[in-house]
Each structure stands twice: as C-alpha cells, then as structure tokens.
Chain A
Amino acid sequence: MKQFIQDLAEKYHYQATHLLHILRGVQSRYHYIPEQAIEQIAELLNISRTHIIGVVEFYSFFHLTPRGQYELFISDSITDHMLGKQSLIAYLSEKLNVAVGQVRPDGLVSLDNTSCTGMCDQGPAGLVNGYALTRLDRPRVDRITDLINQQKPLEEWPREFFQVEDNIIKPGLLLSQPITHGSALQSAYKRGLQETLAEIDISGLRGRGGAGYNTAWKWQLCCEGPDEEAFCDIATHNRRPRFVVCNADEGEPGTFKDRVLLNSNAHQVFEGMTLCAAIIGAKQGFLYLRGEYLYLYEKLQNVLEERRQAGLLGKNILNESLDFDIEICLGAGAYICGESSALLESLEGKIGIPRNRPPSAVIRGYLGNPTVVNNVESYLAAAAISVNGGEWFASHGTEKSKGTKILSICGDCSRPGIYEYSFGTSIQTVLDDCGASNVLGIQIGGASGTFISNLEFDRTLAFEDLSTGGAFVVFNNDRNVLEIVNNYTHFFAHESCGFCTPCRVGTSLLKKQLDKIVDGHGSEGDVVALEEICKLLTKYSHCGLGKSAANPVLTTLGRYPVLYQSQLKKISFEPGFNLDDALEMARLMSNRTDALAHLDQVEEES
C-alpha cells in the first residue's frame, strides 16, 4: 500500500488540492480509506489527518470502513422509484444476500442507495465501482449477481449494462447547429475579445445552472474587478491569476442534460471555457465533473488531448499568444458541490461547504483568486454566440430570458430525453412533445424547484415564470404527491452539508414531520408545524440548498392542502414518537408479549 500511495501522491505532485483524486485512487483500489493511508497521505501532502477524515466522511463515495470489492449503489431518485427501483433493490438484496447499506460478510459486495445518478431517462440506474449501470431489471440483476459471485472483473461484464444513450429528441437553436472546432475562438479573435464580450452581453445569456446570473456581467466583473472597494482594490485584483471553472456537478434529481452535452458536445463546451479564458485572461480552467459521471472521464480527457493537438488548448492557442489548459476534477458524491462556492472548496481538496458571501467567486474564487464558475450549457451557448453573434441568440426567447433552454425530461412520458426550447414555450407544448398524457403535475427544476399541477400548463419556461436548471419530471394521475414530496425531502436531509443550524437541523425536522403526516400519525397542528419548519429553513439557511429544501413541501402544500389535511387523524395531538415501540426494550427485558404489555398510541376520538 505504501508504494501505491507514494506513487499516487507523486502523480498529483503532492498537492493538497488533489486530495479527492488521491482518495478516489485509494478507495477504488482498497474499497475504503485505511487508517494507514490517511497517515501517509497526511504526511505526503503536509495536511492534518483530521482534514482527510473530514473529507472522507463528507463525500458519499469515500468510506472509513471496508466496502465490498464490488461497491454497488442504486439510484434513489423519484424517477428510479417510478421505474420500480424499490422492488428491484429488494430483489437485488435477496439475490446477493446482502442487506441494503451493508457489506456481505465475505467482503465481496456491498449494496446501498445513492442520490440521483443522472440516468433518469434510462433507469432504474446504479453504479458499480463508480461506473454507471442503466436500465436495471430482474434479468440484469440475475446476471450481475452471477458476475459478482464469479468475481468477474468489470471489463468482462456485458457492455450493454453500461450503455448510456443520449436520447436527444428535440434539438433546437444550439443542439441543431453545433459549431466547428475552433470557430468560436477564431470568430472572437477576428471580431476582438471585448467586442465578443459585448456580443455575449447583447445575447442576454444568463447562467444555465439555475440561478440565472448574466453571463457577460459575470465575465466582466471577473475581468475588471468590483467597481467599488468590496474586498480588494482593483490593483490587487489585477495581480491575481484568474480561473475558469465549468460546473458539471449536475446533481439536481431529474437533470441529465450536462451528461449528454459532455458526451456529444464536449468540444463546444471546452471551447466556451477557452473563450472565457481569452476574455478574462485566465491560464487555467477546471471541469468539475460529478463522480457519478466517471464513465465520461476518459472520453473527456481524450477530447482535451485532441484539442491540444489541434492547437486549441495549451500554449499559444491559434497563435494568438493565449496559454490556457483545462483539468478535469472528479467529485465524489455530494449534491452540495453543485453550489458554486462549495464546488470551489471541493476543487481545493476540501469539504464542500458553501462560503460566506460577499465576496463572490468572481472576486475571490479558486484559492482566493477571481474565478468564473458557469454551467456546462452556459459555456456551450457562449461558444455558439461567439460564432453566430448576440442577436442570433437574443432573437429567441422572452424579454428577460433570451435564447433557448435545454431540458432533460423524464418520468411519466413516452419519449424521455433531451429537448431544447426557446424560453417562453408553454408547458403544454413540452408535454405534447414528450408524449405525456393523464398528467397530474410536473416537478420543474428538480428537488429544489417547483411542483406545478395540471391546472397550470399554460405557464411558460422562463426565469420570470418557471425557472429550471434543466430538470422536468412528469407525474401522471396514478402517482401519489406525498410520496414524491417525501422522496425529495429525504434527499435534502441526506444532502445537507450540516454547516448551518437551520438547514442541518431543519432538513431533518422537516423529514420527521413529513414522515409523521405521510405515515398517518399526524394530527391537527401538524401541518402548521410543517409550515413553520419550512419557513425557518427558507429564511435562515446559509445557502441555496437549505433555502430551497422546503420547496417540494411548500409548492405542493399550496396546491393540494386537502391532500395533506386528509392524512391527519381527528385528534388534537399525537406524539412524534411511537409509544408502543418505545416499550419494546422493556418488553424484552421483562420477557412479556401479552396484550397488557402493549400501549395504544392515542385513542381516536369518536
């Protein structure tokens, strides 16, 4: 092990910023991070062991205790549930003879749930030793069980188990006319870099990750520094190196468009990053790729290499004296790292806790330097705008939301996949296109987004109406709203980084309170109590995760109040814990099982 870790550390130049990479290496080789490894890495990287333990405990794909030689995870997204995930994982658990969350005693296999893996259009999905599994069903589970029991290496597993389809159903402005390699950079240099930034400004492009900041403004601010004091003066700002970061940590349940863009349009995304670098004067870029997309890593490395060979990356790009290169950094299973400042912390090899603002990343980003963080789709669009001009883009969409938006559509529809629409398109149009009928409602924008009912399908896709980073999940009338909300609420309680009190405690309180109601133990005051927790979470949380964690409850409670009320018992109070369960230990100790050793929760009022 000693030599293995020594080699790993050397490969990453003993840089603490590469801690996640090193830990990924150790986890993949030993299926956990042994104590001995922690001590050695601490010494080699000159960081404390507690730093490493913190990181290991933070990310879902690192473990302090041994996992199976085959680490199996099943995606727990609502869309996987709708495709039969619950019965499938039970079947898997039975076939493999390992309980969910456990390692089989022979150490060969471990099984657990994991948050949405981004294969919602081809689930139920999972991961084996980090690699995406799609379209799981019972016959596949049978085969997988055999392959594991025969200890077949992953290379010998059928390729179709790992097959990921793009499913681009409706290409629009961007997807139907991909740019040729290098054309965005050539156009930019021909036109002038400042003029190109002006074109991006004219295009009205806003960040496609969800928050919707004006892209040109962000680039300009990073380039020129703040117009007033803030946290550093302009001279200091100008002395600092700048960085370009692409956020490909698409963890919002129901979102998978970045997966497709990186699989099929990676050149254009990297070109958009390079364009940004030329404009802001950056020499180094990073693609932060979510760990669930490990299967794309090699392919993307090859694309980067092709670009270096073609003179589109590296030294003296296009003979314009532009030096810029891109490094790919893999996440390790933490939804919060999609938040831009948490992502930067993670890039620095740390726990992904969102930073205090101000200052924002454009002023103090990666290692304290001015940094542009944009979504995959934003860079893709910026490259196209450089080629086709700002007007070309701005002529689509609405006044406040210009251009097009790429959606990942899944759930109850006959044609799940990737759709590109001009902003301002009605929800009904989208539903007609994707083959959805008998629709109950839609979750737009993922777990942190909005649930709309079938009375609102004349609403539109736009920042000013229904904003989304790309997630669009359709539910038909056979679905249970509370089950959907429960899945999202549990997701947040699992993914909260735990930094601030309102979110750390609030997401768990919300989960308990909703469980109480959904399980039929709620009474009169319990919906009010639910709303109160929602308010505290939304109002006081440190970052967007906490602020939006109550959205699934709030957006459904407003639309289906009767549904929540109907779950309640007709009594004024019901304790939050189960009285009878609480007596279990006493029954065991006194060896009693008779009726008198049991207690009714609360007698129903007649």
Chain B
Amino acid sequence: MKNTINIDGKIIPFEEGQTIMEAATASGVYIPHLCHHPDYTPHGSCKLCTVRVNGRICSSCTFPAKEGQEVLSNTKELNDDRQKITQMMFVEGNHFCPSCEKTGNCQLQAVAYHLNMLDNHFPLFYPNREVDASHPDVMIDHNRCIFCTLCVRASQQKDGKDVFAMSGGRSIHKHLIVNAQSGLLKDTDLAVTDHAAHICPTGAILIKRTAYQVPIGERIYDHEQIDQVSLETEHHQHGE
C-alpha cells in the first residue's frame, strides 16, 4: 500500500504533507501532547509527543510523515520519559491541582494521570509569578503557564488579533505577555468569546465566574482518559 507509516505495529495511511501526529490522530492513534492543537500551526516545544522514527527521536507534531517510516510511540521508554517531561512542567511552575478551578478539565493534569505521574520527582522551583485579574471576564494565572503558545496562536490565527505573545526571557525566565502598553489584559482587545480565551490546556487562562459549575463526576476527565477525549475532539479535525 502506498503512503503508509507504521506506528507501534499498526499500519497508518497518510496524505502528502501530513505530520506523523496528524496521520496518527486521523487513524485513532493517540500520541500524548500539550502544545499541539489541530487547528493551529504546530509548535514542537513541549516535547511530549516525541516518538522514535526509524530509531531517531523526533517531535511527531512537526515531523512530516514519509513512506515506510517505522514509528515507535507507545513504548515504556518513551512513556517513562514523557512522564519526566510532564514532571518538569509541574516543578517549573506552581501547580496545585486541588485548589485549581481547572482540575478535572485540565489537559496537563490529565496527561499526568495518563502517564501515571504520582509525584513531582524533581525539586520544585517555586517561581514568583503573578496573577492578572484586570480583565472583566478573563484572568491569567501565570503560575500555571507551560509556554505552549496556544493562546498566542489562537489569537493570531483564529481571532484575527494579537493579544498574547511569548516574551524573550530566556531559559526559566520565559513568560507570557499581553499586547497592551500597561501590560495588563484589561487593556488588550481580548473578548471572552475569543478562541484564545478558551484554548489554554492548563488553568493559566480562565474565564471568570464559571468556576466549579460542573460537579465532580461530570468533568471532562472524570470518566475518560485524555487519550480518548483527545481522539474524540481532535479526530474530526485531522480526519477530514
């Protein structure tokens, strides 16, 4: 058969120009990811979607599918390391799931559960980060930002605005900034209806006055793991 790759022993068709992630999702194969979203240009920064392509380590969200590739994804080696990379994201910020209103609906938390992460493993950084609650409808809790840039891309690519940006602060000084002279969200043109306000995979960007409205037991990840949820919500976008 022409235009197929092999992921974990399964034959997966792909179309010219598709990435490994796109081909996998379209065929119902979940590869863990956080900075990737089918609606937006791939970023390749979180590195959770790392797979082995013909033995070589690659980010599946950016690496093009090519005839005959042997891809390994759901292996102990990769899942153990994905767990460590997730733990890195936890320790560099301040993530206290029990007190976070995103709990149960949070992709970071759900990926952590999926990868069987039971502790932080690494020493916590306890960074001093701020909360921007200036906007009437939307707030940013920088403590929970994982620098995936989905809000940046959503604002630019779907909302036709330019509300968010990743600052150039290097290494662990990286941080999200907003496009206002005051540096405050209230002075940007962000609207609560913007895609950018709803795309955050963690609890860093939250819609005000909507917390805890869904009871425990009915939240996104209460009964399904992120692999199923992800395929259900992203499959159609990749599959068409």
Chain A residues with a Cβ under 8 A of chain B: 35, 39, 48-51, 53-59, 229, 231, 334, 336, 351, 356, 358, 493-502, 504-509, 512, 532-533, 536, 539-542, 576-577
Bound: A505/B59 CA distance, A: 18
A-B contact count (CB 8 A): 122
B168-A542 in contact (CB<8A): no
A57-B84 in contact (CB<8A): no
Contacts A54-B167, A539-B81 given: A358-B174 contact, CB under 8 Å? Answer: no
A/B interface sample: 9 pairs, CB < 8 A: A49-B179, A53-B177, A54-B168, A497-B171, A498-B174, A501-B88, A502-B47, A504-B172, A507-B171
B170-A500 in contact (CB<8A): no
B171-A501 in contact (CB<8A): no
Q: How large is the interface on B (under 10, 10 to 19, 20 to 34, 35 or more residues)?
A: 35 or more
Which chain A residues lie closer than 8 Å to B146 at the CB level? Answer: 501
Contacts A501-B89, A536-B85 given: A542-B170 contact, CB under 8 Å? Answer: no
Contacts A58-B170, A507-B171 given: A501-B42 contact, CB under 8 Å? Answer: no
Which chain A residues lie closer than 8 Å to B178 at the CB level? Answer: 50
Which chain A residues lie closer than 8 Å to B166 at the CB level? Answer: 54
Which chain B residues lie closer than 8 Å to A55 at the CB level? Answer: 168
A356-B59 in contact (CB<8A): yes
What is the minimal beta-carbon distance from B145 to any residue of chain A, in angstroms? 12
Tell me the nearest residue of chain A to B163, going by C-beta: A50
Q: Is B9 an interface residue (CB 8 A)?
A: no
Q: Interface 1/0s, chain B 95-124, versus A by CB < 8 A?
A: 000000000000000000000000000110
Q: Is B173 an interface residue (CB 8 A)?
A: yes
Q: Interface 1/0s, chain B 197-218, versus A by CB < 8 A?
A: 0000000000000000000000
Task: Identify whether the interface residues of A are mostly helix, strand, loop, or mixed.
Answer: helix
B170-A506 in contact (CB<8A): no
Tell me the nearest residue of chain A to B92, going by C-beta: A505
Tell me the nearest residue of chain A to B170, going by C-beta: A498
Contacts A48-B165, A50-B179, A500-B45 given: A334-B170 contact, CB under 8 Å? Answer: yes
What is the minimal beta-carbon distance from B89 to any residue of chain A, in angstroms? 6
Bound: A506/B123 CA distance, A: 12
Question: Which listed residue, A50, A229, A496, touches B177 by the CB 8 Å rule?
Answer: A50
A59-B168 in contact (CB<8A): yes
B47-A500 in contact (CB<8A): yes
Bound: A275/B178 CA distance, A: 46
Contacts A49-B179, A501-B46 given: A494-B170 contact, CB under 8 Å? Answer: yes
B172-A54 in contact (CB<8A): no
What is the minimal beta-carbon distance from B127 to any residue of chain A, in angstroms? 10
What is the minimal beta-carbon distance from B103 to any residue of chain A, in angstroms? 21
Which chain B residues lie closer than 8 Å to A496 at the CB level? Answer: 170-171
B170-A505 in contact (CB<8A): no
Interface residues of B in 157-183 (CB under 8 A from A): 162, 164-174, 177-179, 181
